[in-house]
Homo-oligomer: A and B are copies of this chain.
């Protein structure tokens, strides 16, 4: 459902997957349906999702429309007994996300969120290192995701770019932040917030900071993970070495905490290592995981509940932004 920018990628991957048949294409706009129909002549076309599910042969509905109508479409699909894969952000509000998930529970269907990054070689490599304890505990995470444009018609820079970082952090850390602070501003006549600094508080002196901007002359996509044992840098613009581990550290020989001058600080500058990160299309892996999860063979990597947690953080961040940076708790599921 939704054949704008991202929908055709989903269609291509559904079609290419051995686990799915691309049965129907849905869009309000007939010309888009006609265009994609040439490529997938076996799929029927519909101008509404109601019409498409009425045929009764759909297992999974993938939603790639503007976020404002995600929840409504998801509920139509679930009511018809279909599993749902929704583009990110999962829904426009946390309340909507809850309604979708409650309906999914009651009808016994699965929901998934298209957090594509989690299926990239880079994030899978990072996940494995973190699980194995190679990085130690986190000191902090610092992410810079800035570039010139592209201004989106229906979301600000926070809802556009932060879902990437928030989904990666949710996947790697396993829990949402407890509170957030966001400061940003709109530097355009339309009033879209286009530059944001978002601080995520995970408690116990561990925090993450995201700089998200549509107003940077240079493009940066860099996450620094400062661990107690190693550092990692994930630079998504590096063509070959996206992940680098640094065996660096700081050691303290604290003789007398009262007297800072007696603290001996030494630095360890060890090896840097960039593992081979296998290429391969993330969406293809994602389709396999979705199929496996539906059949109960594998846990879902990106269940709808993770999408809802990201929406909870975004919603708290928007509230903090409106309050010029005041702290807002993330009460995902009061």
Contact = CB atoms under 8 A, between A and B. Distances in A.
Interface of A: 38-39, 41, 139-140, 142, 144, 148-151, 153-154, 181, 183, 185-192, 195, 197, 199, 205-207, 209, 211, 213-219, 224, 226, 228, 231, 233, 237, 239-241, 244, 246-248, 250, 252, 254, 257, 260-261, 263, 265, 267, 269-276, 324-327
B260 A190 contact: yes
Contacts of A39: 38-39
Which of A154, A183, A218 has the most B CB atoms < 10 Å from its CB?
A218
A18 to B, nearest CB: 18
B267 A149 contact: yes
Contact of A260 (B150, B154, B273): B154
Contact of A140 (B195, B275, B276): B195
Nearest to A277: B269
A213 B207 CA distance: 14
A271 B267 contact: no
A254 B217 contact: no
A250 B181 contact: no
B207 A185 contact: yes
A107 to B, nearest CB: 33
Contacts of A327: 324-326
Nearest to A206: B185
